[in-house]
Amino acid sequence: MERGAYENLNGLLRQYIPKSTLLEEITIERILEIQEKLNNRPRERFIELYA
């Protein structure tokens, strides 16, 4: 993955997990919930960008 992709993913995760959060405080259920939301979020399609 390119650096920009990592930075984008980090930004998306920060919407759900603030930077000051300890990972021990996050339940597996919360991780799965965040995973579901990120995996099912709408994405821009190439055609829409240049239409």
- Can you tell me the distance from the alpha carbon of 49 to that of 51, in angstroms, rounded to the nearest whole number? 6
Residue bearing the bigger pLDDT, 44 or 42: 42
Over residues 4-42, the pLDDT tens digits come to 888 988 999 999 999 999 999 999 999 999 999 999 988
CB burial string 14-24: b at 16+ within 10 A, e below: eeeeeeeeeee
